[in-house]
A and B are shown apart, each in its own frame.
Chain A
Amino acid sequence: MAAKIDQTQVKKVAKLSRLDLTETEAAEFTGQLSAILEYMEKMNELDTTNVQPLAHCLPISNVFREDAVKESLGTEKTLANAPQRDGEFFKVPKILDEI
């Protein structure tokens, strides 16, 4: 039986996950994820045609907060953990592409 996921896919997923993988890691993950996904096939033994997906076990809806202002952290505390800052800004390498 073919592997559930190949190295090209693993690399694609790694890119989507923003994870730099070494070649060794990519190979290792390919094997492991393949085995795991193979196991997941088990779910297909179940006929779920008429089953609703359950994203949440809670029987509740409409939980709101009032539109009231609470104190913010302020610039200094906001930036306190920043790996790099420029004045009152977070600093990152130049973004050249737009989203």
Chain B
Amino acid sequence: MGELRYRVVVGLEIHVQLCTKSKMFCGCALSFGEEANSRVCPVCLGMPGVLPVMNEQALEYAVLVALALDCKIAEFTKWDRKSYYYPDLPKNYQISQYDLPLGSGGFIEIPLEAGRTKRIGIIRAHLEEDAGKNLHTAGNFSQVDLNRAGTPLLEIVTEPDMSSAAEVRTLAVELQRMVRYLGVSEADMQKGHMRFEPNINLIITKDGVEYKTPIVEVKNLNSFRVLERSVDVEEQRQLDEFLETGEVMGMGNKTTRGWDDINQVTVLQREKEEAPDYRYFPDPDLVPVEFKCEWLEDIRSRLCELPIKRQIRFVDEYKLSDYDAGVLTAERSTAEFFERVVAAGGKPKRVCNLLTQVGLKLANEKGCSVAELDITPKDFAQVSNDVDGGILSASGANKAIELKAQDPDKPFSVIYEENNLIQKSDVGELEQIVEQVIVDNPKAVEDVTSGGKKSKKAQSFLLGQVMQKTKGQANPKVVSEILDRKLG
């Protein structure tokens, strides 16, 4: 067998539920697990005679994302009907956008390792209404719940620019971070706010000839894990299939597969020949949307710095590691809080440690954001500076923040005092303790002075003894200096 190389090519279709108050075309509240069919009105039930009316907020949210994706916004756009029969689709057509999507031709920057980024092209972004849910758990029949029917849904289609399962996952995560930053979606994967449909195929070079395998679309994936896994699984499956059948991409041989989570495989859903005929045509019940300059500028003014940009800036401006910058910029409120602490005088690296080691932990426990902890940026800045000034140890600082969170009204001076958090840096006082430790531990002293391979360990042991005697309050830097001086 000759030489064989291959790479995977993936494009992604992503559906994002927007977090408006009401549905896309009617006044029903969005559903969060209420009683089935309780958030349904004649319009989203598709009753005879009803008419849709556009939710302006949904449109603005969609445009905001399209702008963040650097898309061109259509001056003129309209609504189309996409026809197919399914029990969760009450009108048996979905109101969507076909030939004139509101956004097209953009890109998204995704972070790779070591601070590098990659641009993934965005083909289009359009708005549509979600369907309800069919449930198949009840026995020999299916149940239909229309609570979700009519929820505003943003569909984003990328170019086939991703070349690994990891990249696909990264894009999904980045997009989640983006829509959360923009405040247009909770993007809660568990609640199905984001759903993915990767289009996957392989480019195989065999004996110097390039082959493309038929495209497979995997439907309706709703976790990052499954998304990544499905690409890996498809990669292997398509390779095996190619080696067996030699089938290559052609007209109309795209197939649709579903994900079987139990067996961790993709399963064929729709054969090639049965490409559905959606009979798109302009929805006569809705009028076109025209984006006038002023309106567009007004929406544009609501854009914020995007997470990836902010992450890169944090590395540049605050000299943080890419990892730390990523953690701080994961949530918009955390990133903004970090910058407020720095503005209040905290040193970036120290503030970063405080926020990531204790701030986020506390926020997580309380189920709130760091900004909502009742600890002000000034508080964080003070603690941070007290570490830098040798007043607190790193662990003492964390303890101080924890205590402050429990009792926000108590001044730090009292917290430090009551909990013996202030470090002992007085050389005279510490020298006496060090001498006592040297006397009490001749074996360790000998290990240090003889300079063998046990030397380092012994020195740490002695330092530990000093810390123990001072109940952890000794400034380890000062103690080390004394030890070095006395045993060196």
A and B touch in the complex (CB under 8 A): yes
Q: Are B28 and A70 in contact (CB under 8 A)?
A: yes
> A88 interface residue, CB < 8 Å from B?
yes
Judge whether B36 and A64 touch: CB under 8 Å: no
Task: List A residues 68-99 near B (Cβ within 8 Å).
Answer: 68-75, 78-79, 86-95, 97-99
The distance in angstroms between the C-alpha atoms of A2 and B465, with both chains bound, is 103
- With a cutoff of 8 Å between Cβ atoms, the chain B residues found around residue A93 in the complex are 141-142
Given contacts A73-B42, A78-B38, contact A61 B138 (CB under 8 A): no
B290 close to A90 (CB less than 8 A): no
Taking A72-B39, A99-B84 as contacts, is the C-beta distance between A78 and B146 under 8 angstroms? yes
Report yes or no: B135 in contact with A89, Cβ–Cβ below 8 A.
yes
Q: For A78, list chain B residues within 8 Å (CB).
A: 37-38, 40, 45, 146
Contact at B134–A95, with CB atoms within 8 Å? yes
What B residues does A43 contact at CB under 8 A?
none
Docked pose: A44 CA to B248 CA in angstroms: 41
Prevailing SS type, chain B contact patch:
loop
Q: Are A86 and B138 in touch, CB under 8 angstroms?
A: yes
Choose the segment among B51-59, B230-238, B334-342, B354-362 that binds chain A (4+ C-beta atoms closer than 8 Å).
Answer: B51-59
CA distance A61 to B56 in the complex (A): 13
Please report whether the interface of chain A is mostly helix, strand, loop or mixed according to DSSP.
Answer: loop
**Least distance between B305 CB and chain A CB atoms (Å):** 25
Chain A residue at minimal CB-CB distance from B92:
A18
Give bound CA distance, A40 to B258, whole Å: 43
* A88 touches which of B36, B53, B136 (Cβ 8 Å): B36
Whether, in the assembled complex, A16 has its beta carbon less than 8 Å from a beta carbon of chain B, the answer is yes
A63 is contacted by which of B27, B53, B76, B269 (Cβ under 8 Å)? B53
> In the complex the two chains form, what is the Cα distance from A98 to B84 in whole Å?
12
Confirm or deny: A46 has a beta carbon within 8 angstroms of a beta carbon on chain B.
no
A55 touches B (CB below 8 Å) = yes
Residue numbers of B with Cβ under 8 A of A are 20-22, 26-29, 35-42, 45, 53-59, 76, 84-87, 134-136, 138, 140-146, 219-220, 258, 269, 277, 279, 281-282, 284, 286-290
State the 4 A-B residue pairs at the shortest beta-carbon distance, nearest first: A70-B27, A89-B143, A67-B57, A64-B56
Q: Supply 18 A–B pairs (Cβ within 8 Å), ascending by A.
A: A18-B85, A56-B282, A56-B284, A61-B287, A63-B286, A66-B56, A67-B20, A72-B40, A78-B40, A88-B38, A89-B144, A90-B37, A90-B143, A92-B141, A92-B143, A93-B141, A97-B269, A99-B84
